[in-house]
Structure 1
Amino acid sequence: MSNTGLREQAEAWRKADPDSVTAQELANVLASEDTADLADRFAGNLEFGTAGLRGVIGAGPNRMNRAVVRRTTAGLARYLKAQVPDVATRGVVVGRDGRRMSAEFAEDTAGVLAAEGIPALVFTTLAPTPLTAFAALHLKAAAAVMVTASHNPPEYNGYKVYWGNGAQIIPPHDKGIAAAIDAVEPANQVKLLSPAEARAKGLWKDLSEDIGEAYLKAILGLRMYGKGSDTLSIVYTAMHGVGGVWMEKAMKAAGFPRFHVVAEQQQPDGTFPTVRFPNPEEPGAMDLSTAAAERQKAELVLANDPDADRLAVMTRDAQGSLRMLTGNEVGVLLGHYLLTQGTKRARPHVATTIVSSVQLGQIAHDLGAAYDEVLTGFKWIANRALERERSENIQFVFGYEEALGYTVGTVVRDKDGISAALVFADLAAWCQSRRTTVLGYLEEIQRKHGLFVGGQRNFTFKGAEGAQTIARIMEGFRQSHPERIGAYAVRSTKDYQKRETRSGGKVEPITLPASNVIAYELEGGHRVTLRPSGTEPKIKYYFELKETLTAGESVAQARTRAEARLQTLMEAFVALARDRGQPA
């Protein structure tokens, strides 16, 4: 697009922007003649994708702002009216976290829904993402909207949509909603009712505290051991998010009196003053939690991300040092625990994703449980569980993805960091009752079902140029698949975008929906997978290495050897990525 065309497009957007703040912001950009900034803001519409919308707050269609939220909600409302005949009776739940602009975005969402004749069922206080997803099911709503950017940096916000089944939307609804949004009029023409007008018409309904109480009761029922512990010391951080008050209530009710919070991070604060990147996986994010655990001599550290849909866990090793468990390790522990303890189920079902460890699949096979690997994104786990429950009469027990997302049972049809933390504390108390530790239990599982070690490398490339870099890397691998990665021969290549597996000259179809993911299965049972992130400007590389224990060898010795081999494998693959267009 020419500079003149770009400026004309920007001026038209500015005039249609209902928010004077972002309208002025765009006017300032136009006055500065910063063409690169302007081009990025108008590189396209913020894509309605894996988790709805997510982006940097600011002016323009490629940013999160009130104009985008109003048009998105109008499109969603019109799609719902076309697809759900009783939407005007069932309504749509609206929740929000504590980020900047979340209150304004949630109010606009409710106001547009009401103007479209759809009752907005609105949380009056900040709500964790899993509570909003729970409310959709509990209230039998037609859908739910959660205003959140999860674990992204403070300049981000987002807009996540749940269908009436409580799960995040999948095709064809995601494409249908996106098309409906594209057809919406300019933002300043989208009708919107004020909260007072909507309440007067019965189209804005404030949700009561009963929803939260029902949620707490339901997740307390997910525990297997169920006895708590007077002696287990636990440190918890809400990461400046909205999970804190709910975790305190849940842990108190579950019988964990030695539950300590990281005070500096307990209250919601969208500026995230103690951590630049509020993701427990990021370097430094757990520093305050670690320090608190050392002061309290805690055996367990639990961390939610800001919207409380993820969980990170630290525990003590044999030397008494704190060790962060990987997402796969937490998934394997919870999966095995839920399959083997408590009420036995005739046909239990567990699921994970194509970039998570295959060890859960090995456990499921050994224990006779149904198992699925689905595309990355929790929406696929939840919807696959629902599909198999309907068609095969099996009972979903647990699902996880390596990016710290877990769901226990069917209380919430999405990842839930609060219930996962509660059940993990229950697991730790059970281990304590058996005179073992969490890592001792993990070793039991690995001795019986195999030792798998995993790692991940992420590279961030921001803006439109960064998106082109990521696309170039993915295309580079598609054009030139490696025959070896480090010391290991490639046995098969899975291209989920082409929906095909190539092995030994044979081509077989992949039944999963198309997705921009490539996986290399290596000799020895190892695996390397690469994909662009669906929520951040990153390309992600996932690695898993399978290790065989020798006679009389400890798991610790085998793990040390495996992790050294894994590191070498990771370095070899990154070198291949640089040959295919990744900047040094």
Structure 2
Amino acid sequence: MTSTDSTDSIDSTSGATGADAGSGAEDVASLTRRVEAWIADDPDAFSRNELTAVLQTIRSEDETVREAALEDLRDRFSGSLQFGTAGLRGAMQAGPNRMNRAVILRAAAGLAAYLVDSLGEQDAQPDHKHGLLHRHEPAAPARPKIVVGYDARHNSHTYALDSAAVFTAAGLDVVLLPSALPTPVLAFAVRHLDADAGVMVTASHNPPADNGYKVYLGGRAVTGSGQGAQIVPPFDALIAAKIAAAPPAVQVPRAEEGWSIAGPEVLTAYLDAVGALADDTAPRDLSIVVTPLHGVGGAVVDHVLRAAGYQDVFLVPEQADPDPAFPTVAFPNPEEPGAIDLSLAYAQTLGADLVIANDPDADRCAVAVKDHRAEQDFATNSGGDTGPREGWRMLHGDEVGALLGELVASRETSGLLASSIVSSRLLGRIAAAHGLDHASTLTGFKWISRVDGLVFGYEEALGYCVDPGTVRDKDGISAALLMVQLADRLKAQGRTLVDALDDLARAHGLHLTDQLSARFTDLAQIPLTMQRLRTSPPASLAGSAVIETVDLSDGVDGLPPTDGLRLVAEDGSRVIVRPSGTEPKVKCYLEVIVPVASDASVDEVTEARHTAAGRLQAIRADMSSALGISPA
């Protein structure tokens, strides 16, 4: 969770005496006044009661309880939840530095004000009864149109309804999706309905206590290749300024009615568009285990696969239905250790060919396969879950990106492949081999999806855009269909996705990637960690001298500045370090390249993989030492 610094933040110290004690008392009094003012302006009774209870706790006679409550309030009121290119994301609690109805109401008011101001305001008069704006003919230009979607997390539907009410009161033409649906459906709807903007209420793969607010611009608000994509600068700052100027939440006008609920035709149109990607020549002989990880993608993915002719689809029952508590996983992110263990166990028991795992809003797609090399690697492992012991492993996002990139590139005669700067360099080689261009972008699909001429884009964090003309964002559902069909065709040839990866290694060299990350509870440690690395970067990576150290905050390769550092070693190994944009983490993206002969045998490719894996382990150790973090 990120926040702006507040000029009136509290920094009292318990146990102070004399003048310090007086200052501390004033700080507590000031904090109390700000909390009470927030309560008075908060339209949500639950949030008001929550803060009132915490205020009562700071009067506790138990010093430990009292100080814990004070620290809680200081954090909640240390600033405002910051609106950026990722929209809003944070823990659902009361206060300005949290996700709650008051914050959502002001965010919606700010976004509405931006759209009205930037697209032109019609002749309008307010309806004081319903908070509506009545239009007078001629109505030109048309009212800004916005689509609102939501997932199944706690409060998502409430936040979506609040947004629709605020947008309607501001005079926007508002379409609310009819139920909790995947993020790609909202991204599709923005373009399909020619909307000027879209809002998706979701925290994607964050922990259960979080929620978020993604903003897309399209229609007349953004034209060209970025139409229908998530916002980038300067739009985030322009919208943030309008949010800052919005009145207190209790004063934000809200309509009681006036928005429309989308019918089933929007979802049907999305399903038809994804279904059109299906290859009619595929054998349809594949057994698939699917998990939505308690999110909203299960029914949609199941429908897409069955409509494409795949009937042997097993939806993991414990995780099939939306559940905002995400009870079977520690973190609802397929990348997190253990998240797909249940799916792997079912796959082994059922003798499945493939595992597909989506994150809770289904914009990401993970793929797991049975790999004889993994079976060998885990042969001496007496612990762990059934899947890995039997040779199942999840493909890295770069591996799936390479497979999809090769698939799309083989079908295209023109266009461009794009990937983020932290993703593998393999996609660039694939593009060149097919006579296509390649672009590296800053991290995030808001950058990848707006590249001119895009025919395929991906980022290593399991995000893939296989049909940019339809969905200008990552889409875990369409990616799942293409991966299923690729595995299906390979199976008919007596081959697997692992064999296809070996083919790419023979053609372009073995590119092996991994990630090292550290999660922080003290957010101040993130910039300190980055500064420590800038000051004292490692001199070598796995014994190979570092020959290039680039501070990405200076802006490189024609890209805007971003907080990060790139290290390249003499043997071609590369490390990029950056803070996560959505989680309290510092991430290190590692890549090694090992030459492989074009006619290399399976054993020779296997040996190259072992060599690459050894280098990655050594680089992990080097970076852990440089950053002062645990390599776990």
Matches within 5 A, 1:429-448: 429-448=488-507
Residue of structure 2 equivalent to 1:399? 457
1:55 to 63, 75, 90: 90
Q: 1:497 to 1:217 in 2, by over 3 A?
A: same
Asked whether the equivalents of residues 188 and 472 of structure 2 are also in contact (C-alpha less than 8 Å), the reply is yes
**Could you tell me whether the CA contact under 8 Å between 2:517 and 2:631 is conserved in 1?**
no
- Number of aligned residue pairs: 550
Distance in 2 between residues matched to 1:565 and 1:259, nearest whole Å: 38
Residues 199 and 215 of structure 2 are in contact (CA less than 8 Å); yes or no, is this contact kept in structure 1? yes
Deviations 1:25-56 (A, max 9, x none): 11122222222111111121111123211100
Alignment-derived partner of residue 477 in structure 1 = 533
For residues 342-491 of structure 1, the aligned pairs below 5 Å read: 344-345=412-413, 347-384=414-451, 388-389=452-453, 396-410=454-468, 411-462=470-521, 466-491=522-547
Match of 1:337 in 2: 407
CA deviation string 1:516-555 (max 9, x = no partner): 1111111111111111111111111111111123776621
Q: Is the CA contact 1:230–1:258 (under 8 Å) kept in the aligned structure 2? A: no
1:285 corresponds to 2:339: yes
What is the CA–CA distance in structure 1 between the aligned matches of 2:108 and 2:142, rounded to whole Å? 15
SS in 2 for 1:351: strand
- Cα deviations by residue, 1:345-402 (Å, 9 ceiling, x for unpaired): 2x22110001110111111122211101101111000122xxx23xxxxxx2211100
Contact residue 227 and residue 254 of structure 1 kept, 8 A: no
Match of 2:104 in 1: 69
Structure 1 residues 103, 88: CA separation in 2 closer, same or farther (over 3 Å shift)? farther
Q: Separation in 1 of the partners of 2:302 and 2:616?
A: 38
Q: Per the alignment, in what secondary structure is the counterpart of residue 562 of structure 2?
A: coil
Aligned to 1:537: 584
Match in the other structure for 1:23: 48
User: Which deviates more from structure 2 when the two are superposed, residues 478-487 or residues 69-78?
Assistant: 478-487
Other structure's SS at 2:610 match: helix
Which deviates more from structure 2 when the two are superposed, residues 449-458 or residues 87-96? 87-96
Q: Distance in 2 between the 1:104 and 1:334 partners?
A: 37
Partner of 2:128: none
The answer to whether residue 604 in structure 2 is matched with residue 554 in structure 1 is yes
Aligned to 2:272: 217
Alignment correspondent of 1:8:
33
Q: Matched residues in 2 for 1:21 and 1:205: separation?
A: 28
Aligned counterparts, 1:87-126, within 5 A: 89-126=143-180
Q: State which drifts further: 319-328 or 305-314.
A: 319-328
2:624 paired with 1:577: no
Task: State how far apart, in whole Å, the 2-side matches of 1:54 and 1:95 are.
Answer: 16
Equivalent residue number for residue 229 of structure 2: 167
Query: 1:95/1:87 Cα in 2 relative to 1: closer, same or farther (>3 Å)?
Result: farther
- 2:531 counterpart letter in structure 1: E
Contact 1:235-1:293 at 8 Å conserved across structures: yes
Q: Among the aligned pairs, what percent are the same residue?
A: 46
Residues 144 and 196 in structure 2, CA contact (< 8 A), matched pair in contact too? yes
What secondary structure sits across from 1:554 in the alignment? helix
Identify unmatched segments of 5+ residues in structure 2: 1-9, 11-26, 59-68, 121-139, 219-226, 376-389
Provide the C-alpha distance between the structure 1 equivalents of 2:575 and 2:486, rounded to a whole number of angstroms. 31
In the other structure, the counterpart of 1:517 is 564
How large is the Cα RMSD of the aligned pairs? Answer: 1.8
Give per-residue Cα distances to partners, 1:44-73, cap 9 Å, x unaligned: 111112321110000111110000000000
Over residues 542-579 of structure 1, what are the superposed CA-to-partner deviations in whole Å (9 max), with x where a residue is unaligned? 1111112377662111101210111011111110111x
Distance, in Å, in 1 between the alignment partners of 2:199 and 2:178 is 14
Q: For residues 446 and 538 of structure 1, what CA distance do their matches in structure 2 show?
A: 31
CA drift of 1:583 comes to 12
TM-score with structure 1 setting the length: 0.91
Amino acid at match of 1:461: F
Give the drift of 1:228.
4.1
Q: 1:563 aligns with which of 613, 616, 619?
A: 613
Cα distance in 1 for residues equivalent to 2:180 and 2:187: 14
Once residues 433 and 291 of structure 1 are traced to their aligned partners in structure 2, the CA distance between those partners, rounded to angstroms, is 25
Give yes or no for contact 1:240–1:268 (8 Å, CA) kept in 2: yes
> 3-state DSSP class of the match of 2:524?
helix
Normalising by structure 2, report the TM-score.
Answer: 0.84
Q: CA deviation at 1:229?
A: 3.6
The structural deviation recorded for 1:219 is 1.2
After superposition, give the CA deviation of every residue in 1:483-524 in whole Å (9 maximum; x if it has no partner): 33341211112212122xxxxxxxxx5421121111111111
Does 446-455 or 549-558 show the bigger shift? 549-558
3-state SS in 2 of match to 1:497: helix
SS of structure 1 residue aligned to 2:109: helix
Q: Which residue of 2 aligns with 1:192?
A: 254
The letter for the 2-side match of 1:266 is: A
Per-residue deviation at 1:434? 2.8
Secondary structure class of the residue paired with 2:54: helix
Q: Deviations over 1:393-423 (max 9, x none)?
A: xxx2211100000010221000000010011
Q: How big is the shift at 1:222?
A: 2.3
1:260-314 alpha-carbon deviations (Å, 9 max, x no partner) = 1101111111111211211111111111101111122101000100000000000
Q: Distance in 1 between matches of 2:281 and 2:296?
A: 26
Taking the aligned partners of 1:30 and 1:7, their CA distance within structure 2 comes to 7
| Local SS of the residue matching 1:456 | strand
1:458 CA drift (Å): 1.5
Counterpart contact for 2:152–2:323, Cα < 8 Å: yes
Q: Matched residues in 1 for 2:183 and 2:406: separation?
A: 26
- Name the stretch that deviates more: 398-407 or 270-279: 270-279
SS in 1 for 2:200: strand
2:192 and 2:483 map into 1 onto residues whose CA distance is 24
Cα distance, 1:187–1:65 mapped onto 2, change above 3 Å: same
Q: Distance in 1 between matches of 2:619 and 2:331?
A: 28
Letter in 2 for 1:334: L
Residues 148, 177 of structure 2: 8 Å contact kept: yes
Change (3 A) 1:273 1:87: farther
The alpha carbon displacement at 1:90 in A equals 4.7
| Distance apart, 1:7 and its partner CA | 2.4
2:399 corresponds to which letter in structure 1? E
**Pair member with larger Rg:** 2
Q: Give how far 1:227 is off.
A: 3.4
Distance apart, 1:103 and its partner CA: 1.0
The Cα shift of 1:81 comes to 0.9
Consecutive unaligned residues in structure 1, runs of 5 or more: 199-203, 390-395, 500-508
Q: Aligned to 2:306, what secondary structure does the other structure show?
A: helix
Is the 2:541–2:573 Cα contact (8 Å) retained in structure 1?
Answer: no
Distance in 1 (CA, whole Å) between partners of 2:436 and 2:510 is: 20
Distance, in Å, in 1 between the alignment partners of 2:441 and 2:243 is: 28
Aligned match of 1:180: 242
User: How much has 1:478 moved relative to structure 2?
Assistant: 2.3
Contact 1:49 1:534 (8 Å CA) reproduced: no
The question of whether the paired residues in 2 share the 8 Å contact of 1:227 and 1:255 is answered with no
Equivalent-residue separation in structure 2 for 1:412 and 1:255 (angstroms):
23
Q: Distance in 1 between matches of 2:609 and 2:543?
A: 18
Aligned residues of 1:311 and 1:405 also touching (Cα < 8 A): yes
